[in-house]
Structure 1
Amino acid sequence: MSCASLRIVTASADYADAVTDGNPDRLPDLTAYDAVLFDLDGVLTPTAEVHMHAWRTMFEELFAQWDIQPPYTDRDYFEYLDGKKRYDGVASLLRSRDVEVPWGDPADPPTADTVCGIGNRKNLVFAAVLRSEGIAAYPGSMRLVDKLQAAGVPIAVVSSSKNAQEVLEAAGIRDRFDVVMDGVVAERDHLRSKPAPDVFVEAARMLGVDPARSVAVEDALSGVQSAAAGGFAVVVGVDRGVGGEDLARAGATVVVDDLAAFVD
């Protein structure tokens, strides 16, 4: 497939260069690229809301117990947790409050005061909400998936979450993706967390495509930075609340608020 004829909106310091306002004349044709790699939470499914709730519940309790200031806010989620592997996010947020704890081991119990133990504590809350409430994929995102699959474009999921397989199964869309690069694979293969490019580049390798001829779709600042660092031809930023201007500054070449824009 050739992407040479496409007009791509290039991000610069000016947010207007990247935001499209849903104008189809400014949107690239994603079916003309060799592959499209999707983040999961906040791009394909609204699990970001469940993650936000779980992180907030866990950290508010922890900060109160340890008398950590300033208090946890939702901005902490976007700055230190969103898009990163769970333990990296815990360490990053605690470091922002000048708090250092032992890293520990992934097998640590949720009661352990280690990075891994705290991360496992949060995961209990997330898993409970997912089991009790389920999850549904964004309709606009699935319309784009349908369009890409009808055109024969390879697609993959690139997620930092170790819960990616469970989320995809809960949403009933696991069979739509041949490649799922998740937190389990990243830990097994010692891949660095977003914003490092490792997971996106490895997912492209697993698909057998060149990032320079492929598309990455992200809603997190760290994820956009990861895809941009990986040399993807187009980095689509989906603004689910982090802010379109921040996504553009992080490296998004196109910013939309719903992936249905690429279908409409």
Structure 2
Amino acid sequence: MPDLSTYDAVLFDLDGVLTPTAEVHMHAWQAMFQELFEQWDISPAYTERDYFDYLDGKKRYDGVASLLRSRDVEVPWGDPSDPPTEDTVCGIGNRKNAVFERVLRDEGIAPYPGSLDLLDKLAAANTPVAVVSSSKNALEVLASAGIQDRFGLVMDGVIAERDNLASKPAPDVFVEAARMLGVDPGRSAAVEDALSGVASAAAGGFELVIGVDRGVGAHVLADAGAHLVVDDLAELVPAVGTGVRFDASAATEGEEPA
């Protein structure tokens, strides 16, 4: 396992990497789209695979448009201020977000223990860390998890929309986050659990792209550009301080992902 403290910085996705909010997002999307598909008589029916293929890691409205397009359904884009009752891309996205916010408010969230341990180790090594999330709820999630003050930078969906940055899998958000943090992607590491996020970091030229397999599949993440795949960030904790560097070129030449 590589020593992440040997990299100039480590940029983390949030949902599914640092906190289990991906599960909340997944359930909120499923509940909303199942009801919508039934109302509009859309087929095939929504499945869990749709979340990974069209929604996971993308900005909210881009995800809505992508999934509807997969069913040959086009609706007006609308405006982010559209109410959840509006049948526009933005309205549908806001409909899902209302469910997510209610669950987060009522139940709260806690970081993955392994992720928290890794953050502790990197903080002790004075390694810069940042969050790169497509979610507009990132700051609220980080605050609910009690880890907001650990990051020198949070690149979220609000900043991406403000600055017209393309959604993952485009490299824009990762590259811009590295620039804002003052580090070179070619000497930094990125950690992602979504196919679109792994592809984004890989396209951004990060020296090490780590995939966290929360259900997508290790080989699928590797095919998307991950140099190394782990089941949990706890696997990376013992390596901090060892000085071990990961040979990404060997992984791309056909080695099995861990």
**By the TM > 0.5 criterion, same fold?**
yes
Residue in 2 aligned with 1:214? 188
SS in 1 for 2:166: coil
SS in 2 for 1:237: strand
Question: 1:103 is matched with which residue: 65, 68, 77?
Answer: 77
Give matches, 1:16-31, under 5 Å: 27-31=1-5
The alignment status of 1:128 with 2:105, answered yes or no, reads: no
Supply the distance in 1 between the matched residues of 2:236 and 2:82 (Cα, whole angstroms).
Answer: 44
The alignment status of 1:42 with 2:9, answered yes or no, reads: no
Supply the distance in 2 between the matched residues of 1:186 and 1:89 (Cα, whole angstroms).
Answer: 14
SS in 1 for 2:30: helix
Residue in 2 aligned with 1:162? 136
Q: CA deviation at 1:90?
A: 0.1
Task: Kindly provide the amino acid, as one letter, of the partner of residue 52 in structure 1.
Answer: M
Residue in 2 aligned with 1:252? 226
Count of residues paired in the alignment: 238
The alignment status of 1:175 with 2:159, answered yes or no, reads: no
Question: 1:115 is matched with which residue: 69, 86, 89?
Answer: 89
SS in 1 for 2:44: coil
Supply the distance in 2 between the matched residues of 1:263 and 1:87 (Cα, whole angstroms).
Answer: 35
Task: Kindly provide the amino acid, as one letter, of the partner of residue 2 in structure 2.
Answer: P
Residue in 1 aligned with 2:245? none
Coordinate RMSD, CA, aligned: 0.4
SS in 2 for 1:263: helix
Residue in 2 aligned with 1:262? 236
Residue in 1 aligned with 2:56? 82
Supply the distance in 2 between the matched residues of 1:204 and 1:260 (Cα, whole angstroms).
Answer: 24
Supply the distance in 1 between the matched residues of 2:236 and 2:35 (Cα, whole angstroms).
Answer: 41
Task: Kindly provide the amino acid, as one letter, of the partner of residue 36 in structure 2.
Answer: L
Residue in 2 aligned with 1:91? 65
Question: 1:235 is matched with which residue: 209, 231, 239?
Answer: 209
Task: Kindly provide the amino acid, as one letter, of the partner of residue 262 in structure 1.
Answer: L
Runs of 4+ that moved beyond 3 A: none
Supply the distance in 2 between the matched residues of 1:76 and 1:193 (Cα, whole angstroms).
Answer: 17
Supply the distance in 2 between the matched residues of 1:168 and 1:262 (Cα, whole angstroms).
Answer: 21
Give matches, 1:50-61, under 5 Å: 50-61=24-35
Please list every run of 5 or more consecutive structure 2 residues that lacks an aligned counterpart in the other structure.
239-258
Please list every run of 5 or more consecutive structure 1 residues that lacks an aligned counterpart in the other structure.
1-26
Supply the distance in 2 between the matched residues of 1:253 and 1:143 (Cα, whole angstroms).
Answer: 22
TM score, norm. by length of structure 1? 0.90
After superposition, give the CA deviation of every residue in 1:74-116 in whole Å (9 maximum; x if it has no partner): 1000000000000000000000000000000000010000000
Supply the distance in 2 between the matched residues of 1:93 and 1:247 (Cα, whole angstroms).
Answer: 20
